[in-house]
Amino acid sequence: MTACANNSGTSDAKKAPSASTAPKPTLAPALTQAQAREAITHYSKTNNLAHQSQDRALLDTVEGGPRYAMSLSDLKQDEALPKADREPYRPWSYDLSTTDLYIPRLKDGQQRWFAAVTRAGSQQQYARVLIMAESTTSKQWEMVATVDLDDPKQLPQLVLDKDGYATAVDAASTSLAAPVGVLRSAVTDNFATGGETTGKKVFNPSEASQRQIKVHDETTGKFGPRGTTRFASADPQFADAYALKTTTGALVVFSHTHTQHDAVTAPGLGIVPEKQDRAWLGTSPSPAFTYTFTCSDIAAVPSVPEPSSLLGYGCRRTDAKAAGPSTSV
């Protein structure tokens, strides 16, 4: 459909607003601070009830993403242990008086989420980062990630606006020194090669990064000449990442998945499943096992081309199965 021109040669059609004059998308807080505290409290209470009765369906109403996968793993592993080896469940709750909320302003239609940093200990020396997101189906708030910080002092300063709200950042943005895909590859490289390919280039030698490398170094040699252990990356079971603006870049919480393949090096040998593995593997020896781990990670990523800092991570075995032997090193 074309516009008719008048005799002066100017168009009667209104000009579309330029990019500079077009209205900016409205950004609104994901929720209020009171609502965020209520969501954390509801999560704690429901989580206790679900674990005390081992009610997976109830737990599913307040957990999602990697946090729910890890909880299911804990329940499955505990149920397979002899009763004498099971630790009694102790109800708990987050101390909201020592919890800082970081609620981002989001675009209309964007999935709502927020972060919190909760502290414990006589000197508040223990800190955990929480990520809660609104379920796109149930519209209920779910805990999707919890990651303990190795050193709370390493937590970068998050940027808050005049009203106290945080700024969400695209974790995949190339404006960051290490977008989330690079971070995910680097943490799996820490396990797979001890960081020799990309891990030591992307991350500075923080305690968390060194722990991942230590897992590689100690685990790959645990069988001596009788067996091998190989770590490998896997497609992430949970691709969502959450990032907030800091004074130096962004704080990024993400998930990764990696596998561990244990195998004997000679016929007639077998690997006996450990107690923690029996929920998946039973008690029968096998020449090879493959384990799948689901993990949550948190990193401080600069906006300038410098190494990032892995501030903490946590993993759970979420699958294991007998596999064909492999003698490759």
pLDDT tens for 205-239 read 999 999 999 999 999 999 999 999 999 999 999 99
| Model pLDDT, residue 97 | 94
Strands 141-149 and 113-120: unpaired
- Residue 187 identity (one-letter amino acid): V
| Angle between helices 180-193 and 207-219 in degrees, nearest 10 | 40
| Model pLDDT, residue 11 | 40
Calpha distance 250→43 (Å, rounded): 27
Calpha distance 29→310 (Å, rounded): 28
Q: Is 38 exposed, middle or buried (0-12, 13-18, 19+ CB in 10 A)?
A: middle
Nearest to 38 by CA among 92, 97, 96: 96
**What is the helix, strand, coil percentage profile of the chain, to 5?**
30, 35, 40
Calpha distance 31→37 (Å, rounded): 10
Calpha distance 142→179 (Å, rounded): 25
Strands 242-245 and 249-264: antiparallel
Element (H, E) at 16: none
Calpha distance 225→230 (Å, rounded): 14
Tell me how far the alpha carbon of residue 107 is from its chain's centroid.
23
- Give 250's strand partners: 245, 301
Calpha distance 2→16 (Å, rounded): 14
SS3 state at 291: strand
Tell me how far the alpha carbon of residue 75 is from its chain's centroid.
19
Q: Is there a contact between 253 and 238 (Cβ–Cβ < 8 Å)?
A: no
pLDDT tens for 118-128 read: 999 888 889 99
SS3 state at 288: strand
Calpha distance 202→195 (Å, rounded): 9
| Model pLDDT, residue 122 | 84
Positions in the chain whose pLDDT score sits under 70: 1-25, 324-329
| Model pLDDT, residue 323 | 80
